[in-house]
Chain A
């Protein structure tokens, strides 16, 4: 009799709580769907406003996590855990939590700063903290890079923000610097003419003109060749100019050292 009452009481309680759990789960599922929709909406909106792709992804993610966060609180409330208490506890523990999350929050703040000051954008090729890659996106806590051999690198935003950042694709055009060594007996005027000829195969109209500079003499003679090109064409133009130099020096029978 007593046992029956206990079991009945238990099933009742379980029933009550499982109902609540189902409710909480429903809240979470709905919120998850909504958050996905909201992320897409924010992204579309920013896309239409032709905002930067970095900002587009970031804005979308912020909307996503905000909704998920609110839903979490709501779900806790549905189960019967007083969210005001959670907030109070969180408030009381904020110092401890703050300390625990110090690095993460630092990364978060750095992420915001990277958004605001934009030393680089998604798609830029940067060298930062000893690694080089193309920026995939800037997340809440990490900046994601893809290396040229397609490895994904995750850099904490704090580290990125503190480090020296080299942005190779900031300017639409950049200079190719080539160093060429020839023997001391090679005729200076001839070499200069050949190098300039090779450099002029690149059309520099609208950019600074091609330069050929005698940089050092001695056991070998060092020449610098400067050619400007569109940043995107850096590798192709560099290779082409090098080929032209090699061909011309070979034809004139001037060996390179």
Chain B
């Protein structure tokens, strides 16, 4: 298959490209910088300039681009960057693909579980209504932009991400650091459910959606058994053989991070990946402690 990946240099994009190449697919990376290899295609996400000829008749296009959500506080300029890098690029990509003679057969994108907002003890299903707040609104707009690819006639599916754990980037290396020196802990009262998934399951789920001709629409991407932040933190402690005593109080997180704290770090999302399981996907990592052990091995090995 010939497959293009927007955001191919990101954490998920890199892993995805590797997995696709490994199984013999031909991968094109859409990048902002001038192309260095024949497999790279120049892409200005805002202006939408793309080498359209190279995008004609693709088997699949992935959109996994976007500035990291939980990197820094959501200042006004940061919000603008988040909206531009996710909503606008998704729209631009779909518009560009509308111009080619033969649009891709499949369009897959990474959405975000933050669309549901903080819901306490409620089970969050694929069909649960969206929440409120900046992250929820961002995630809804960006998911709608991705699902806009349906108008191309492509089979379109979105995988809604929570916290993706990978040794190569994202949250995991940052979370592990304090735990290593024994000052890791939970956030707030630690009762909030956090949606998480390892990178190999994320890639696995994407390949699953790619290969299953009946998969379309939005899918919650989080482990089948939701876990509370405190339990999750303790799993980190056990996997690293460190005590977990400290915790970050709510007021400190709010003071340091503002809305990002309430919408993301303290938000409770008891997410169930019902559609993903029903479509036949089987998770590799379901249990936090084992997942952390694997990731630590990856981190130290690389």
Contacts and interface: CB of A to CB of B under 8 A. Distances in A.
Contacts of A172: 120-121, 191
Contacts of A203: 123, 272
A205 B272 contact: yes
Contacts of B216: none
B270 interface: yes
Contacts of B270: 205-206
Interface in A169-227: 172-173, 203, 205-206
A205 B254 contact: no
B226 A230 contact: no
Nearest to B231: A206
A230 B193 CA distance: 13
A205 B225 contact: yes
A232 interface: yes
B274 to A, nearest CB: 10
Nearest to A231: B121
A203 B225 CA distance: 11
Interface residues of A, number: 11
A173 B121 contact: yes
A206 B226 CA distance: 4
B227 interface: yes
Interface in B252-302: 254, 270, 272
Contacts of B228: 206
A230 B121 contact: yes
A236 interface: no
Contacts of A84: none
Of B121, B122, B225, B251, most buried by chain A (CB within 10 Å of CB) is B121
Contacts of B224: 205
Contacts of B272: 203, 205
Contact of A232 (B121, B227, B254): B121
Nearest to B123: A203
Contacts of B254: 50
Interface string A144-187: 00000000000000000000000000001100000000000000
B233 to A, nearest CB: 16
Given A203-B123, A206-B123, 6 more contacts: A50-B254, A172-B191, A205-B225, A205-B226, A231-B121, A233-B121
23 contacts: A49-B251, A50-B254, A172-B120, A172-B121, A172-B191, A203-B123, A203-B272, A205-B123, A205-B224, A205-B225, A205-B270, A205-B272, A206-B123, A206-B193, A206-B225, A206-B226, A206-B227, A206-B228, A206-B270, A230-B121, A230-B122, A231-B121, A233-B121
Interface of A: 49-50, 172-173, 203, 205-206, 230-233
